[in-house]
Structure 1
Amino acid sequence: MFVGTFEHSLDEKGRIVLPSTFRSHLADKGFLSQFDACLGLWTEEGFREVSGRLKDKIRDGLAPQEALRAFAANAHEVRPDAQGRITIPQRLRDFAGLSRDAVVIGAIDRIEIWDASRWSEVANQADGSLSQAVRALGL
């Protein structure tokens, strides 16, 4: 399970240090791909699961085939190095608007990597959404 918010910077080679609490889950390998205005990073098992769910949605006519193509074509296998860094390919950095300052968040079943300014905007909206959900669900 991935939780927490961590501020990090990308180095000149496009590498980012993952929080130490996340690294052990990705020791064998992980998969990085485009996600909702950010990058998603999954364990191998998590990537299989989300890919399967996407294929089910396509089969049921709820998502276009192009979504799976984009998700898979832009996926990148990663392994943290000895310093806990992963390299983010340029095309994925461009998609997520990553330049220097980034935020790495735990999103329960995945890790998300955000441009710091994008995350700031999203975090404010997310706080309001959580409040609404708590009230609606009676939590």
Structure 2
Amino acid sequence: MDDDTHESQAVSIGAPAPDAAVAGESSLMPALLLGTYTPKIDAKGRVALPAKFRSQLGAGCVLARGQERCVYLLPIPEFRRIAAQVQRTSLSDKRARNYLRVFLSGAVDEVPDKQGRVMVPQMLRDYAGLTGDIVVIGVGTRAEVWDRPTWETYLNEQEDDYSDMADDILPLGDL
């Protein structure tokens, strides 16, 4: 399999924000990172990003610890938005301080090389258990890098609850 093998296409969706007409704004929502890809991670820790993701990441991205032992791959504006949101939380909030320490101490900025590869630092590879077989998934405003067997197990475990989750998360009638 080559580095850009994928199971579904990533698409860039830029559309007026649903509330833009109400607010009188003409801004576009950020492009969405979508799809599932199965590149390899080489011995040096380099991963070739899906071609459609490369243009959406602009000049670079930030890699950081994600939840459920994956690595977040965030466009720089999205990373800054998340960091600012957490930093607005009171310094007296111990959970916010803990989250910020873990999130920012594991974050690194990367600029893809000429082949569209980014280096996943050893600490993040260890955190997520990344070896040769990985999965890169688009999750809207970020991508996630998973160890392939871990992702497959996670996805299988979530499948049974997928319909039930939709009932709790989406407003009635949206799907």
Judge same fold: TM > 0.5, yes or no: yes
Corresponding residue for residue 22 of structure 1: 53
How far has the Cα of 1:133 moved from its partner? 2.5
SS in 2 for 1:80: coil
Identity %: 35
Give the root-mean-square deviation of aligned CA atoms.
1.8
Aligned residue number for residue 75 of structure 1: 107
CA distance in structure 2 between the partners assigned to 1:41 and 1:20 by the alignment = 14
Q: Is the 8 A contact 1:32 1:41 kept in 2?
A: yes
The answer to whether the aligner puts 1:2 opposite 2:33 as a matched pair is: yes
Larger Rg: 2
Q: So what's the TM-score if we normalise by structure 1?
A: 0.90
1:12 equivalent in structure 2: 43
Number of paired residues?
139
Secondary structure of the equivalent of 1:70? helix
Please list every run of 5 or more consecutive structure 1 residues that lacks an aligned counterpart in the other structure: none
Deviation of 1:3 after TM superposition, in Å, equals 0.6
| Change beyond 3 A, Cα 1:62–1:26 | same
User: Is the 1:27–1:80 Cα contact (8 Å) retained in structure 2?
Assistant: no
What SS does the corresponding residue of 1:13 show, helix, strand or coil? coil
Q: CA deviation at 1:57?
A: 4.4
How far residue 47 of structure 1 moved from its aligned partner, in angstroms, is 0.2
Say if 1:8 and 1:101, in contact at 8 Å, map to a contact too: yes
Task: Indicate whether 1:105 and 2:137 are aligned.
Answer: yes
Unaligned runs of 5+ in 2: 1-31
Higher-RCO chain (CA-CA 8 Å, sequence separation at least 6) = 1
Is 2:172 the partner of 1:133? Answer: no
Distance 1:93 1:26 in 2: 21
The amino acid that maps onto 1:27 is: G
- Alpha-carbon shift at residue 130 of structure 1 (Å): 2.7
Q: Pick closer, same or farther for the CA change 1:6–1:60 going to 2, 3 Å.
A: farther
More strand per residue: 1 or 2? 1
1:45 aligns with 2:77: yes
- Once the two structures are overlaid, the 10-residue window that deviates more, 33-42 or 54-63, is 54-63
